[in-house]
Each structure stands twice: as structure tokens, then as C-alpha cells.
Amino acid sequence: MPDWGYQIHKDRQIDFDRNDRRLAQYIRKYEPTFKLCISCGACTATCSTGNLTEFYNIRRLNILLMRGEIDEIWSQISKCMFCGKCELVCPRGVSTRKVILLMKEGIQKIKENEQI
């Protein structure tokens, strides 16, 4: 059969009711400052990783995390160098560095079907 090059696009809509929000709950539990993010983007502006590599945006990863969209986080999170500049500039005192660490930990647990 000829390949016409058509593909089925993944739905771009965030389906909040279907999404898995366990990771967000896990991070809220172990790093409560996570709840205080107001998406100002100061972390993203100072982030060396974000400035030097494509698609890495810590502000956006926080939002996706809260919405339960973890696939994109998984594909990006390993780029973080844990320099901690994001945490220094945060006006709401979010421990962003700890949040990223917990994201990595939590995703690992979900992938390995562990209870989180």
C-alpha cells in the first residue's frame, strides 16, 4: 500500500479529567512551595539550560506538571544541570531545584509502576 505521508495527529487538548495528576500531588506533598508558582517566568529567563538548548522551559514544565501532562516533562527534564539559579530569582520562594529533583524521582517511580 502506498504511503501517502498522512498521520494521525495527537490531540493537543489537555483533557484534565483523564490526565494522571499523581506526580503533581506527589510534588505538592514533598515540596509545598510548588503550589505558590504564579508563572512569572523569572526562572526560565535565568535558566542557562533554557537559554542554550531548545524546548527546555521550567515555567512551562511546572504548568504541564499541574495539568498532568508528564510525557513532555519526561522528554525534557534530564537537561537540567541543577545549578539552582531559578531558585535564587523566584519571587514566591518556590524551591524549583527541589521540584525538578522530585519530578525526576516521581516520573521514575511512575514508569516503574511504583506507588507514589
Partner 1 sequence: MKKKVVVIGAGVAGIEAAAHLALMGYDVTILEKGERIGGHVLQWDRLFPTQRPASEIQDYLNQQIRNPNIRLIAQTCLIKNERNNEQFNLELSDGNVLTADAILVSTGFDLFDARIKEEYGYGIYDNVITSCDLEALFSSEKPITNAQGEPPSRVGFIHCVGSRDEKVGNTYCSQVCCVTAVKQAIEVREKLPRSEVFCFYMDMRMFGLRFEELYKESQEKWGVNFIRGRLSEASENLDGSILIKVEDTLAGRPLKMRVGLLVLMVGFVPSKGTLTIGKLLGLDFTPDGFLKPADEYIDGNSSNIPGIYLSGTCKAPKTIPDTLTDGRAAALAISEYLASTS
Q: State how far the alpha carbon of 89 is from the alpha carbons of 73, 104, 108, in Å.
A: 22, 22, 28
By CB under 8 A, name the one of 5, 8, 10, 12 that touches partner 1. Answer: 12
Instruction: Determine, following the binding rule CB under 8 A, whether residue 20 of this chain makes contact with partner 1.
Output: no
Instruction: Determine, following the binding rule CB under 8 A, whether residue 60 of this chain makes contact with partner 1.
Output: yes
Q: What is the 3-state secondary structure (H, E, C) of 44-85?
A: HHHCHHHHHCCCCCHHHHHHHHHHCCHHHHHHHHHHCCCCCH
Choices 7-15, 48-56, 95-103, 104-112 (CB under 8 A): range interacting with partner 1: 7-15
Instruction: Determine, following the binding rule CB under 8 A, whether residue 35 of this chain makes contact with partner 1.
Output: yes
Amino acid at 38: I
Q: Determine how many CB atoms are found less than 10 A away from the CB of residue 5.
A: 5
Instruction: Determine, following the binding rule CB under 8 A, whether residue 28 of this chain makes contact with partner 1.
Output: yes
Total site size for partner 1, rule CB under 8 A? 20
List residues binding partner 1 (CB under 8 A).
12-17, 28, 32, 35-36, 38-39, 59-60, 63-64, 66-67, 69, 92
